[in-house]
């Protein structure tokens, strides 16, 4: 049976002879004898592709909750958006899939230009002049934004709205152990950040402010207030913005954000159990020399033809080493290419339409739930654009379990995001009973109607 290794036995023998060796073991003569693995790895023997594929198909089939079996109302940063055949076909082209980082621009214009177009679209979405070539996911983009903000302001104190996605805040905490940034969580009051008027006793003024737009509970934050607060302290504003809602909302850059980050999965990437996703990162020109990761710029070749190349390379780890702005090397280029294709497919009118349809569906859901005995809104009556949090009579995890039996992935239990004890975004009781529900442009009126009917039952004791 074949594997992916082309050498015939005769060729191996010939090559070994060319090296003056008589066995492949001798290739490893520099590995101390005592360290060499006797008896080989304790793994099964190799199996033919069809057998392995069958195993993986079995595993895939065991995911009962997948979005082609249950109607997906779950969001929390991962959304069931349309990924059309054209985008799948183009993003799946092996020239994009099997290329390496574009270190040789003369033979990498395809990826470089696609990323240049991606950067342009992300910058326009964010309302800022520069966007990078991507980061790992929304959380990693936020970490990098906070690193940039603290470096730019020279102040490592970071006020983070509790309305920022709980997992992203968790990742921020993890990496702050290394950077030493002081993270201060600013709680929500009725779904929106209760920014303090002044630095409390013993507190420190912020160098960076971080807010969500909309925040993870679906509420629209007052970004003008964030900008004013930042200006009062000489701080930078980082906004974690939903790039789909940006099709409907004033851009975060327009509100005065210095850095806008986001999760780009919604543009051309399937739910994928959480990855690979796409970290979006845009900033002001003033901060471009602190930009993390790769940046593609336009230039010309020897003959004056337009060409693209990774630029401002002196920021990057392979040149600047321990003084680099970031350690990011491999990013999520293929997802960035997919996003460029998806945004090209949507175009000006399509993005606006998707954003509007999400808002309509979410609004329709909220209207439909009015008067339900077991379900009420968690956050008052602020506008909703793609997601809303509700409070269910029974614990939300129970609701999700029950709803799966009715054919729905009902949403994400807040306790799965913030823990049973709640956090600055919701108190413990709301954490247990809070359910985050997302409605994308793929949800039909019929699905929403059936969902509401099922939820009214599932949410009650």
Partner 1 sequence: MSEGAMGDQAMGDQAMGEEAFTTAAAPGGRAASAPLLGHEAEPTLFELSRPGRASWQLRTTGVPEWPAEELVPAEHRRTEPVALAEVSERDLVAHFTRLSHRQYSVDLGAYPLGSCTMKYNPKVCDTVAALPGLALTHPATPASLAQGWLALLVELEEALCEITGMAAATLQPAAGAAGELTGLLLMRAYHAARGEDRRRVIIPDSAHGTNPASVTLGGYEVTTVPSDERGCVDMAALREVLGPDVAGIMLTNPNTLGLFEEDIQAIAAAVHEVGGLLYYDGANLNAILGVVRPGDMGFDIVHMNLHKTFATPHGGGGPGAGPVAVAEHLVELLPGPRPVRLPDGGGRQSSRQGDEPRPLVDGDRRGPGEGHYSGDHRSLDEVDMRVDAGVGPSQALPAGTVPHPAGTRPAYGWVVPARSIGRVHSWHGNALVLARALTYIEVHGADGLRRVAERAVLNANWLRVRLRPTFDVPFDRPCMHEVVLAAATLRRRDGVRALDVAKRLLEEGFHAPTVYFPLIVDEALMIEPTETESPQTLEALAQAFERIVADASAPGGAERAAAAPRTTPVRRVDEARAARTLVPTFDARP
Q: Hey, is 193 helix, strand or coil?
A: strand
Dist. CA 141–CA 9, nearest whole Å: 49
- Residues 255-274 as x/- pattern, contact with partner 1 by CB under 8 A: --------x------xxxxx
The position carrying tokens 């980061």 is: 135
The position carrying tokens 């993890």 is: 174
Interacting positions 312-341 with partner 1 (CB under 8 A): 312-314, 316-324, 326-335, 337, 340-341
Q: How far is the CB of 314 from partner 1 (least distance, A)?
A: 8
Q: Considering the rule CB under 8 A, would residue 187 count as an interface residue with partner 1?
A: yes
Token pair recorded at residue 343: 């945004």
Judge contact between 99 and 112, C-beta under 8 A: no
Q: Considering the rule CB under 8 A, would residue 93 count as an interface residue with partner 1?
A: yes
345 or 393: whose CB is closer to partner 1? 345
211 or 295: whose CB is closer to partner 1? 295
Q: Considering the rule CB under 8 A, would residue 415 count as an interface residue with partner 1?
A: yes
Dist. CA 142–CA 59, nearest whole Å: 33
Stretch that binds partner 1, among 76-84, 230-238, 370-378 (CB under 8 A): 76-84
Element housing 112 (H / E): helix 109-126
Other Cβ atoms less than 10 A from the Cβ of 219: the count is: 25
Q: Which of 184, 126, 123 is nearest to 158 (CA)?
A: 184
Q: How far is the CB of 155 from partner 1 (least distance, A)?
A: 13
Interacting positions 207-246 with partner 1 (CB under 8 A): 220, 246
Q: Hey, is 307 helix, strand or coil?
A: strand
Describe the crossing of helices 396-405 and 445-458 by its angle, rounded to 10 degrees: 120
Q: How far is the CB of 95 from partner 1 (least distance, A)?
A: 4
Q: How far is the CB of 132 from partner 1 (least distance, A)?
A: 8
Dist. CA 374–CA 388, nearest whole Å: 16
Q: Considering the rule CB under 8 A, would residue 2 count as an interface residue with partner 1?
A: no
378 or 384: whose CB is closer to partner 1? 384
DSSP 369-414: HTT-SSEEESSTT---SSEEEEEESS-HHHHHHHHHHTTEE--EEH
Judge contact between 128 and 288, C-beta under 8 A: no
Q: Which of 206, 264, 268, 434 binds partner 1 (CB under 8 A)?
A: 206
176 or 237: whose CB is closer to partner 1? 176
Name residues whose C-beta falls within 8 Å of residue 157's C-beta, 6 or more positions apart in sequence: 181, 182, 184, 204, 205, 206, 207, 208
Q: Which of 448, 454, 455, 459 binds partner 1 (CB under 8 A)?
A: 448
Q: Is 398 exposed, middle or buried (0-12, 13-18, 19+ CB in 10 A)?
A: middle
Q: Considering the rule CB under 8 A, would residue 284 count as an interface residue with partner 1?
A: no
Stretch that binds partner 1, among 62-70, 232-240, 373-381 (CB under 8 A): 62-70
Stretch that binds partner 1, among 70-78, 233-241, 369-377 (CB under 8 A): 70-78
β partners of residue 376: 391
Q: How far is the CB of 29 from partner 1 (least distance, A)?
A: 5
Q: How far is the CB of 375 from partner 1 (least distance, A)?
A: 19
Interacting positions 6-45 with partner 1 (CB under 8 A): 6-7, 10-12, 14-21, 24, 26-32, 34-37, 40-45
Q: How far is the CB of 376 from partner 1 (least distance, A)?
A: 20
104 or 370: whose CB is closer to partner 1? 104
Token pair recorded at residue 303: 């003959």
- Residues 348-377 as x/- pattern, contact with partner 1 by CB under 8 A: xxxxxxx-xx-xxx-xx-------------
126 or 378: whose CB is closer to partner 1? 126
Interacting positions 127-186 with partner 1 (CB under 8 A): 129-131, 133-134, 136-140, 147, 159-160, 162, 165-168, 170-171, 173-186
Dist. CA 290–CA 296, nearest whole Å: 15
Q: Which of 66, 164, 73 is nearest to 437 (CA)?
A: 73
The size of the interface with partner 1 (CB under 8 A), counted in residues, is 245
């Amino acid at each position: 049976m074949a594997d992916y290794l082309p050498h015939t036995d005769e060729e191996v023998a010939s090559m070994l002879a060319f090296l003056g060796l008589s066995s492949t073991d001798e290739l490893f003569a520099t590995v101390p004898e005592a360290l060499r693995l006797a008896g080989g790895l304790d793994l099964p023997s190799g199996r033919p592709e069809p057998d392995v594929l069958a195993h993986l198909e079995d595993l895939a089939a065991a995911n009962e909750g997948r979005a082609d079996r249950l109607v997906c109302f779950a969001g929390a940063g991962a959304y069931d958006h349309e990924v059309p055949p054209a985008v799948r076909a183009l993003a799946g082209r092996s020239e994009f899939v099997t290329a390496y980082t574009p270190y040789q621009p003369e033979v990498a214009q395809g990826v470089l230009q696609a990323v240049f177009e991606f950067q342009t679209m992300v910058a326009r979405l964010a309302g800022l002049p520069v966007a990078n070539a991507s980061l790992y996911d929304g959380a990693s983009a936020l970490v990098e934004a906070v690193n940039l903000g603290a470096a730019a302001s020279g102040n490592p104190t970071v006020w983070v709205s509790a309305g920022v996605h709980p997992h992203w805040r968790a990742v921020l905490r993890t990496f702050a152990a290394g950077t030493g940034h002081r993270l201060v969580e600013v709680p929500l009051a009725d779904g929106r950040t209760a920014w303090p008027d002044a630095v409390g006793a013993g507190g420190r003024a912020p160098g960076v402010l971080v807010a969500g737009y909309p925040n993870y509970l679906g509420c629209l934050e007052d970004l003008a207030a964030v900008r004013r607060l930042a200006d009062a302290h000489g701080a930078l504003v980082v906004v974690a913005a939903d790039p789909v809602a940006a099709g409907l909302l004033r851009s975060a850059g327009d509100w005065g954000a210095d850095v806008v980050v986001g999760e780009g999965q919604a543009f051309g990437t399937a739910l994928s159990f959480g990855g690979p996703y796409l970290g979006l990162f845009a900033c002001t020109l003033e901060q471009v020399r602190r930009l993390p990761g790769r940046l593609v710029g336009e230039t010309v070749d020897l003959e004056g033809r337009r060409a693209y190349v990774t630029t401002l390379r002196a920021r990057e780890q392979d040149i600047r080493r321990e003084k680099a702005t970031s350690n990011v090397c491999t990013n999520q280029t293929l997802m960035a290419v997919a996003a460029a294709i998806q945004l090209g497919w949507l175009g000006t009118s399509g993005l606006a339409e998707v954003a509007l349809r999400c808002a309509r569906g979410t609004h329709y859901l909220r209207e439909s739930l009015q008067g339900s005995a077991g379900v009420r809104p968690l956050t008052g009556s602020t506008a909703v654009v793609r997601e809303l949090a509700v409070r269910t009579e029974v614990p939300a995890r129970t609701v999700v379990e029950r709803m799966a039996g009715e054919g729905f992935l009902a949403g994400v239990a807040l306790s799965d995001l913030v823990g049973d004890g709640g956090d600055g975004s919701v108190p413990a009781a709301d954490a247990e009973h809070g359910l985050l529900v997302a409605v994308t442009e793929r949800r039909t009126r019929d699905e929403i109607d059936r969902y509401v009917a099922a939820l009214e039952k599932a949410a009650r004791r």
